[in-house]
Amino acid sequence: MSTTFQIDTATSRANPTPTPMRRLTIPAIRQRKKDGVTAEPVVMLTAYTARQAQLLDAHCDLLLVGDSLGQVIYGLPSSLPVTLDMMVAHGAAVVRGSWHSAVIVDLPFGTYEASPQQAFETAARVLRETGCAGVKLEGGAAMAETVAFLSQRGIPVMGHIGLTPQAVNQLGGYGARGRSEAEAEKILGDARALDKAGAFGIVIEGVVEPLAVAITQAVACPTIGIGGSAQCDGQVLVTEDMLGMFERVPRFVKRYADVAGLISEAAAHYAAEVRDRSFPGIEQTYQPKA
């Protein structure tokens, strides 16, 4: 898969011209897992902007517009203050910037928990205004009725269990879940309930590895690990974490680059050239025509 590029002279930015092919669908993702086995793991990364989506799209099956944008983009202390307007704006940008991956948008805290009807109204707005393929919501058995309500009305839903950031105040922090037998049984029950309710996939975050493996074996839909196990049916990371944009790296993250270092180095080089007046040079300025 490849993307050709053309120059938009109105903005002087490279915009992708999609190659002729269909965007991945939710049924296609769901069908990756057959008889409990996923031969080709599902690749998922977060994206918040059109340009980021352009760069990630050809390499991913799913792009997640996560409410982690609260911390990553807006510098908020958690995902709790993220609004529906934020998710819609960034979701639409990611859909515009992609052509291959199925785009999933998080439902933010307080916009879906009250009732299945509230969740439907929120999810319907997200699909209508972004063009995304589906939504993701946090919670296990307590949200099964809502997942079924949405699924039966044509809205694909991805579940999210284990360490659920929107419940950080109740959980008491971001530590790994499922260490006790009782908690592990509850999380396993959550996964089964979401699977039975019609979730097309389940994110398993921050649980002990044996539990992640047990959940993957227990449900028919694909599991997406983040701090789970390589035996999950797919993996997701916050792209900025994977790229090394932040000093702190969670245990479950592998840094694949030091983009923060590259940005800092480039900015320092630019600043030095501005101060010694070597930039802009003749190549970057407009000269009188002869």
- Active-site residue set: 205
- The answer to whether 106 is annotated as binding is yes
- The answer to whether 196 is annotated as binding is no
- The answer to whether 8 is annotated as binding is no
Buried (b) or exposed (e) across 121-156, using 16+ Cβ within 10 A? ebbeebbebbebbbbbbbbbbebbebbbbbbeeebb
Distance CA 51, CA 16 (A): 10
- The answer to whether 136 is annotated as binding is yes
Taking Cα atoms as reference points, which of 188, 189, 116, 126 lies closest to residue 151?
Answer: 116
Taking Cα atoms as reference points, which of 237, 272, 273, 271 lies closest to residue 255?
Answer: 237
Distance CA 134, CA 252 (A): 26
- The answer to whether 68 is annotated as binding is yes
Contacts of 133 (CB under 8 A, 6+ apart): 23, 25, 26, 102, 103, 104, 156
The annotation places the binding site for 3-methyl-2-oxobutanoate at 67-68, 106, 136
- Positions at the binding site for Mg(2+): 67, 106, 138
Binding site per annotation, positions: 67-68, 106, 136, 138
